[in-house]
Chain A
Amino acid sequence: MKPPKDRRDRRTPGTAVSRAAVRDTGAGPRARWFPRAPEAHRSNALHAGAWWLWALGLGATASRTTNPLLLALVVGVVCYVVAARRTRAPWSRSYGAFVGLALAVLGVRLAFAVLLGSGVPGTHTLLTLPEVPLPGWAQGVRIGGRVTAEGVVFALYDGLRLATLLICVGAANALAHPARLLKSLPGALYEAGVAAVVALTFAPNLIADVRRLRAARRLRGRPDRGLRGLLQVGLPVLEGALERSVALAAAMDARGYGRTLPVPAAVRRTTAVLTLGGLAAVCAGTYGLLTADGSGYGPPLLLAGTAAVLAGLWLGGRRSPRTRYRPDAWGVRAWLVAASGAAAAVLPLLAGAYGSAALHPSVVPLTAPVLPLWPAAAVLLGLVPAFAAPIPREPS
């Protein structure tokens, strides 16, 4: 038993190193001055927040443009990073589902534009579908009719933007499990975070149960496909899920979930006042910020409210005896990854590229989109994680 394991252990880093070497040779002389990313393990794992900031930064850029070239560049950057740094964990497989969803969104958007027409006036008619006559009260709605190139291109740009956003979120999800992000919550919210994590595992378990029970239907000689099959296993699946939840609750209770420390009544009261007062101040401050005449008192109230809520959370955390086991550290690499995302979102702004026509290529009249230089360079910065983040270990 022992020797083969040892051999495998020795071999695993070997393959990773050799692959890294291959990549660096491909990258040319840079291999000499750019320090190679280490193999990932728990202590150098990138903070989940860094991944989410990176993905949201790229998403922010995507949400502010309809330029298909720029959007394609964002998708390419995201896909490359995911391919280079994705682990083999089950949640990493969700990326494929997100890409599928993005494609579906694009398809639906295009189909609607073709079938229902679009509000974009166009002169280039691609084809004319038979139009369904609608009564007078349905004015403004039409089904079928003229399909213009302008309308289709507009829908394509719009759908592409939404699809890119979905792919960015999917990438964050694949690279850093949301559960790991929840672990970085303040102590007072930790218990709620654990509950959320448990809820997150509920759905995959439910799906596994449905699969198992549908398979079992086959053993009873009933068809294992179709909607009826799904409905008939519904009750047993829910029963099973309930039983498992109760068993898990018992296990969590027996393992000390929800233990509290005695705290003085004064601290408890202060916590309540700070949290509630802070929340009220945040609401009022936000209102002030959004109304036209409240810009004077808005920002300070918002800041004060936030501070009060944070203080309340900190005090509330004293009730919980919890400690953290090996929390994700925010190191240099996390800074690099987060900064690359932030740069992708902010640099175009600073360069004054926004508002420029290149980000929103004109549809009427139809023009060929041009890749804007500065935003494209900023998006390319999003490739940093593919070199800075630790390389996931090959599964043994």
Chain B
Amino acid sequence: MIRFEDVSVTYDGQDAPVVRGVDLTVPEGELVLLVGPSGVGKSTVLGAVSGLVPHFTGGTLRGRVTVAGRDTRLHKPRELADVVGTVGQDPLSHFVTDTVEDELAYGMESLGLAPDVMRRRVEETLDLLGLADLRDRPVAALSGGQQQRVAIGSVLTPHPRVLVLDEPTSALDPAAAEEVLAVLQRLVHDLGTTVLMAEHRLERVVHHADRVVLLPAPGAAPVTGTPAEVMAVSPVHPPVVSLGRLAGWSPLPLTVRDARRRAGALRERLARVAPDGPPEPPAHGTPGGAPAEAGPGAPGSRVATHPSRTAAAVPPTHGTPAGPVPGTPGGRTAAGPSGPGAAGSGGLGATGPGAPSATGADGPASAPGGTAAGAGPRRPGLLAGLRAGLFRGRATAASPTAGPAAAPPTAGPGAAGPAPAASVEGLVVRRGRVEALRGVALDVAAGETVALMGRNGAGKSTLLSALVGLVEPAAGRVRVGGAAPHRTAPRDLVRLVGLVPQEPRDLLYADTVAAECAAADRDAGAAPGTCRALVTRLLPGVGDDAHPRDLSEGQRLALALSVVLAARPPLLLLDEPTRGLDYAAKARLVAVLRGLAADGHAIVLATHDVELAAELAHRVVILADGERVADGPADDVVLASPSFAPQVTKVLAPQRWLTVAQVRAALGAAGDGEADA
């Protein structure tokens, strides 16, 4: 159906081809996934199928591309419109008309189909994509997932034999992404449509693919094979594949179900080394310092890290310490309960014995004290939880990397801790007559990372906007560093809070990186060079005179982040930061954000990316229809919800693992421990 014969594409003004030597045949009715790191030419390959490359983009295409027997050199995109349907990354720029129904009909009108055929297909497509309720709605008023479905529907109605999709699920929440993928699956199975799709979020799509084409590097020849074969060598792969590679499973599992069926042995092994799941809370897995490795083989120091770490990450409401398991070292068993104990006592402050015992949590000997103190205030309710949050902030802020030695001094003054980085009470935001947020409360402590999740349009971005004063609360109170953001002058506000918007390029005005940095320093009143130093740290190898628009998504995000961080705001907000990032860029982002949290920055991220939330967040807040429906420690919340659970959690349930890194660390530590013993 699609045939590439030794295709290479060179854009005007570039010396080297973007893609080279692509030989590819996609038979009819296959779903083929195009994967690879950012910038390897995935979009170029997709564009070559629809004829937009080179007819529309310019450049030189060598070799030959045929689609359904038509050579794209001889046929313009409009003459291929009846066999190829293309959906780009941004559905909004795809829409020609203004209502859903007209949009679905537009392609058919261009092809000149009979009115009764058009009518029938529009009705079928409305049902197929679940859009019947929205048929009269203006497309601009739809949510992201709905827009994406309309965009797919609009190219489906002419019944193309080939469907080309560029990142169809990147902007969608997990449920909406599932919907879109289910539709694609149905098209392939029921109608025999050939689908060629590029996607970064492999965990969502790889198991739907019949074959995977990997573009390993710019200009490198593609590798084609079954998903399992390609995933075994691919530099980009979903967590379930990393877990499979870690555990040495062959063939590699691609779905949670496959992995679960093989995971029995791994679960047992993990149960031996860490019966209650990860020994360390996720977000503090590997920040700088890494005290877990500090004491060479000394059980005392190792265990002693737990009180401070657990206290730093798990509020007392998470009062389900693992039961004592015979056979594990005593110190570890004590460490579980003493965490809540320390946090609870910190929150209440006045509980005499709590603080000292937490202070003395230096080794196994103090464990009973900790447990005793923990037993009392373990369920002091939400209030103590919040105040424990204050304490937590202080603890982390004061001792980002110090480990156990720094824990004692901070445990005492917990009750008189500093104001939280942000506090929101009973926030109501109206947009027109719609209440975008209703009675939302949120407290963020310094050093804490909070993930805001929820479906598209649930109010995540609105909450972030309220925190930077872009929208005015209709009722309720918003305080950031003690100030009301919408009444604070922008010049002062940047030192309190920084937001990296969904589209980082909105923040960038200048035409070189250096000018952007200079402007950022001026705006923030920071010493000249502050921003440039941040850029160098976050984004090594980007020249001063690069144009921000020429950077890749990940680089642009890093630049915007540097610009925001130049003012050193204690509260950092990120809206959908992983959109369009490949796994490598995401890993770099995670490392950077962990470092920032360890430095005492409070971070709030609005994200659909459950894997990101699992890796970074201490706390997860789920919004639905403008209301807060869940708020709790990351592992509790994501474990409780199948749609927000990361793949590793699903594979290893009922054990409480969130990320591959945790599993790797636990297995590695177990190896060390056994070696020590």
- Cβ contacts under 8 Å, B154 to chain A: 255
Within 8 Å CB of A255, what residues of B? Answer: 78, 81, 86, 96, 106-107, 110, 154-155
Q: How many residues of B contact A (CB 8 A)?
A: 70
With a cutoff of 8 Å between Cβ atoms, the chain B residues found around residue A30 in the complex are none
A183 to B: closest C-beta gap in Å: 8
A173-228 interface with B by 8 A CB criterion: 177, 179, 194, 197-198, 201, 204, 212-213, 215-224
- Mask: chain B, 115-132; 1 = CB below 8 Å from A; 0 = not: 100110010000000000
Contact B112 A322 (CB under 8 A): yes
Q: Are B490 and A248 in contact (CB under 8 A)?
A: no
User: Could you say which of B111, B135, B509 has the most chain A C-beta atoms within 10 Å of its C-beta?
Assistant: B509
Q: Please state if A259 and B501 are interface contacts (CB–CB under 8 Å).
A: no
A33 in the interface (beta carbon within 8 A): no
**B residues less than 8 Å from A324 (CB atoms):** 109, 115
Do B136 and A41 have beta carbons less than 8 Å apart?
A: yes
- Given A219-B507, A324-B115, A256-B523 contact (CB < 8 Å): no
B501 touches A219 (CB 8 A): yes
**B499-516 near A? 1/0 per residue, CB < 8 Å:** 101000011010000000
Indicate if the CB atoms of A218 and B102 lie closer than 8 Å. Answer: no
Task: Decide: A256 and B115 in contact? CB cutoff 8 A.
Answer: no
Interface check A42, CB cutoff 8 A: yes
Give which listed residue, B96, B105, B140, B524, contacts A248 with CB less than 8 A: B96
Hey, which chain B residues are within 8 Å of A222, CB to CB? 490-491, 523
The minimal Cβ–Cβ distance linking A89 to chain B, given in whole angstroms, is: 6
Residue contact B78 to A251, C-beta cutoff 8 Å = no
CA distance A277 to B78 in the complex (A): 32
Say which residue of A215, A261, A323 sits within 8 Å of B114 (CB atoms).
A323
Task: Return the chain A residue nearest B140 by Cβ.
Answer: A90
Is B133 among interface residues, defined by CB-CB distance under 8 A? yes
Q: 1/0 contact trace for B150-161 toward A, CB 8 Å?
A: 000011001000
Instruction: State the Cβ distance, B198 to closest chain A Cβ, in Å.
Output: 16
Chain A, range 10-41, C-beta contacts under 8 Å to B: 41
CA distance A201 to B93 in the complex (A): 11
Judging by beta carbons under 8 Å apart, are B110 and A219 in contact?
Answer: no
A396 and B420 CA atoms in complex are apart in Å by 40
| Cβ of A268 under 8 Å from chain B | no
- The residue among A216, A256, A261, A326 with the most chain B CB atoms within 10 A of its own CB is A256
B96 adjacent to A256 (CB under 8 Å): no
Instruction: Identify whether the interface residues of A are mostly helix, strand, loop, or mixed.
Output: helix
| Residues of chain B lying within 8 A (CB to CB) of residue A90 | 138, 140-141
Q: Whole-angstrom distance between the alpha carbons of A220 and B93 in the complex? A: 27
Q: A221-B494, A244-B93, A326-B115 are in contact. Are A259 and B524 (CB under 8 A)?
A: no
**A5 close to B (CB within 8 Å):** yes
A42 & B136 in contact (Cβ 8 Å cutoff): yes
Name A253's contact: one of B56, B111, B158 (CB within 8 Å).
B56
Give A32 to B563 CA distance when docked, in angstroms: 69
Whether A323 and B490, one on each chain, are in contact in the complex, defined by CB atoms closer than 8 angstroms, is no
Is A232 on the interface with B (CB-CB < 8 A)?
yes
The answer to whether B114 and A216 touch across the interface, beta carbons within 8 angstroms, is: no
Question: Does the CB pair B494–A220 fall under 8 Å?
Answer: yes
Q: Does B250 contact A (CB under 8 A)?
A: no
With a cutoff of 8 Å between Cβ atoms, the chain A residues found around residue B564 in the complex are 219
B121 nearest CB neighbor, chain A only: A325
Pick from A42, A194, A236: contact of B96, CB below 8 A.
A194
Chain B min CB distance to A181 (Å): 13
CB distance from A111 to the nearest CB of B (A): 33
Give A321's nearest chain B residue, CB to CB: B112
Size class of the contact patch on chain A:
35 or more
CB distance from A105 to the nearest CB of B (A): 27
Is residue B445 contacting chain A, with contact meaning CB distance below 8 A? no
By the criterion CB–CB under 8 Å, are A250 and B501 in contact?
Answer: no
Q: Which of A324-338 contact B (CB under 8 A)?
A: 324-326
Contacts of A223 in B (CB 8 A): 489-491
- Quick one: which of B78-105 are within 8 Å of A by CB? 78-82, 84, 86, 88, 90, 93-98, 101-102, 105
Chain B residues within 8 Å of A232, by CB: 509
Knowing A253-B76, A254-B78, A254-B81, say if A219 contacts B52 (CB, 8 Å): no
Q: A219-B499, A254-B86, A259-B81 are in contact. Are A325 and B563 (CB under 8 A)?
A: no
Distance to closest chain B CB from A219 (angstroms): 5
For B115, list chain A residues within 8 Å (CB).
323-326
The docked-state distance in angstroms from the alpha carbon of A83 to that of B651 is 58
> Which A residue sits closest to B106, measured CB to CB?
A255
Please name all residues of chain A whose beta carbon is closer than 8 Å to the beta carbon of B78 when the two chains form the complex: 253-259
> Across the interface, which residues of B come within 8 angstroms of A257, CB to CB?
78, 96, 110
Query: In the assembled complex, which residues on chain B have CB atoms less than 8 Å from the CB atom of A393?
Result: 136
Contact present for B82 and A89 (CB under 8 Å): no
Is A325 in contact with B469, judged by CB distance below 8 angstroms?
no
Residue on B nearest A323 in the bound complex, by CB:
B112
In the assembled complex, the Cα of A252 lies from the Cα of B52 at a distance in Å of 11
Chain B neighbourhood of A396, CB < 8 A: 133
Q: Which residues of A contact B86 (CB under 8 A)?
A: 251, 254-255
B498 neighbours in A (Cβ, 8 Å)? 219
For A219, the chain B residues whose CB sits under 8 A away are 468, 490, 494, 498-499, 501, 507, 564
Q: How far is the CB of B641 from chain A (nearest CB, A)?
A: 16
Contact check, A323 vs B118: say whether CB atoms are below 8 A apart.
yes
Least CB separation from B56: chain A residue: A250
Bound Cα distance from A355 to B489, whole angstroms:
62
Q: Is A273 an interface residue (CB 8 A)?
A: no
B109 lies within 8 A of A325 (CB): yes
* Complex partner residue of B94 from A213, A251, A321, CB under 8 angstroms: A251
State how many angstroms separate the Cβ of A186 from the closest Cβ of chain B. 15
Tell whether, in the assembled complex, residue B140 and residue A217 are in contact, meaning their CB atoms are under 8 Å apart.
no
Q: How far, in angstroms, from A217 to B509 measured CA to CA in the complex?
A: 9
Q: Which residues of A contact B446 (CB under 8 A)?
A: none
Interface centre among A42, A89, A233, A252 (most CB of B within 10 A): A252
Interface string of B454-486 (1 = CB under 8 A from A): 000000000001001110000000000000000
B50 within 8 A of A: yes
Which A residues lie within 8 Å of B122 (CB)? 325
Going nearest first, the 3 A-B pairs with the smallest beta carbon separation are: A321-B112, A256-B81, A256-B110
Q: Give 5 A-B contacts (CB < 8 Å), ordered by A residue.
A: A251-B95, A254-B81, A255-B81, A322-B112, A323-B113
Besides the contacts A232-B509, A322-B112, what 5 more A-B pairs have beta carbons closer than 8 Å? Answer: A218-B470, A247-B93, A257-B96, A259-B78, A259-B111
- Chain A interfacial positions (CB closer than 8 Å to B): 5, 9, 41-42, 89-90, 177, 179, 194, 197-198, 201, 204, 212-213, 215-224, 232-233, 235-236, 239, 244, 247-259, 261, 320-326, 393, 396
